[in-house]
Amino acid sequence: MSRPVGLYLHIPFCRSKCAYCDFPSFAGREEMMEPVTEKMCREMSEKGAALADAVVQTMYIGGGTPSVLPVPHMEKLLRSARASFRFARDAEISCEMNPGTVTGDFLKCLREYGVNRLSLGAQSGEDRLLKAVGRIHTFADTRKAVHLAHEAGFSNINLDMMLGLPGQTIGDVKRTLSDFLVLSPTHISCYALIVEEGTLMEKKVSRGEWVLPEEDEERGMYELARDTLEKNGLRQYEISNFAREGFLCRHNRDCWLREEYIGIGVSACGFLSPVRYRNPDTIPAYLRGEPAEETVLSAQDARFESVMLGLRLTEGLAETRFIQAHGMTFREAFGHKLDAPLKDGRLRFENGVLRLTRYGMDVMNSVLVELL
């Protein structure tokens, strides 16, 4: 018997820290790239040996900024992944890149080791917004990166887009959507800005130096993005994600459906049911081999997770899948807590599938609070 899994590699390095970023990423630590790479290779070897029946269906290389790694280090990681795990023949293998750090040599390395999907952190087509939040690239860099990717043979390319940036307007979003669509991406991830505690953005917003769009204006940006992308052939399949037919991100979809995945690297998270774990979130602690922080999910927590994650998908969550995972129906698990969101149109249960309505997606947290 084989055990289908995802594989996540976290690259904790970046060129500079963006104003909104609270991810475990570190600028100016080039001297640590080699020891971290070596440690990640050892971690893959150990986990591969411990999970000999695992077959990798998807691999996602995220960060940080994976594309700041020197090519020999990325080559070593990709070679180690192949040596440590069995990969499905049709495995989806994604790599995040900052448009300002994309090179032909790096893309060639990715192609040689089977990477078949790129995710570019474009964020906006407006250079003034990119500069304001600390991005190191311009939109010209995004155009160049997409061109280089096509030249290298990549056809499955995602562009990240952010909504609610300081000073951003509906007009900015409309122009960015147009600029992005000209590049013919197969996928666009459209994220609302979250002001995280401890970030430069939080400091500037709290001091009144940056003014964020009003909630209604940000909602208008999201509606504009959703409608524009749908009209241009990128169907919404998750709250923040849109894809052309056949190009949804399988790795992320599997995570939302609570499939197992193995996390490798500083602060990398993993899920091997019923355990969720997170590696140490500093480079020194990771290199010292400090143990991951583990959480064993209770049956009740697992049921809630299934709904919390599965409802993010426009396809919803099939009750047969829920029964297979948890041994009970939605009604047996949540009882009368389902009544209000079903009655007021936030949830719909049809043909054995529980899903959020379009209105429900806008107020998903209210549904989860009631189910919790």
Specify the pLDDT at position 25. Answer: 77
Could you tell me where in the chain the CATH 1.10.10.920 domains are found? 299-372
C-alpha span between 246 and 300 (Å, rounded): 34
Report, as an integer, the average pLDDT of 300-327. Answer: 96
285: number of CA atoms within 13 Å, CB side?
14
Phi, psi of 43, deg, nearest 5: -65, -40
Partnered with residue 304 across adjacent β-strands are: none
Specify the pLDDT at position 53. Answer: 96
Note whether 149 and 185 are within 8 A (CB): no
C-alpha span between 22 and 193 (Å, rounded): 12
Query: Predicted confidence band at 167 (pLDDT cuts at 50, 70, 90)?
Result: very high
C-alpha span between 114 and 62 (Å, rounded): 16
Note whether 269 and 262 are within 8 A (CB): no
C-alpha span between 39 and 37 (Å, rounded): 5
Note whether 260 and 6 are within 8 A (CB): yes
> Which CATH code fits 3-256?
3.20.20.70
Q: Is the pLDDT of residue 210 over 90?
A: no
Query: Predicted confidence band at 208 (pLDDT cuts at 50, 70, 90)?
Result: confident
Note whether 124 and 153 are within 8 A (CB): no
- Tokens 């993010």 label which residue? 312
Question: Domain 299-372 is in which class?
Answer: mainly alpha
Q: Which strand (E) or helix (H) includes residue 148?
A: helix 139-151
Could you tell me where in the chain the CATH 3.20.20.70 domains are found? 3-256
48: number of CA atoms within 13 Å, CB side?
17
Q: pLDDT > 70: what percent of the chain? A: 99
107-139 confidence digits (pLDDT tens): 999 999 999 999 999 999 999 999 988 889 999
C-alpha span between 90 and 284 (Å, rounded): 36
Note whether 8 and 268 are within 8 A (CB): yes
Q: What is the DSSP string of 149-217?
A: HHHTT---EEEEEEES-TT--HHHHHHHHHHHHHT--SEEEEEE----TTSHHHHHHHTTSS-PPPHHH
Note whether 329 and 323 are within 8 A (CB): yes
Does pTM top 0.85 for this prediction?
A: yes
Token pair recorded at residue 77: 């990681």
- Tokens 């990423």 label which residue? 25
Token pair recorded at residue 321: 């899948």
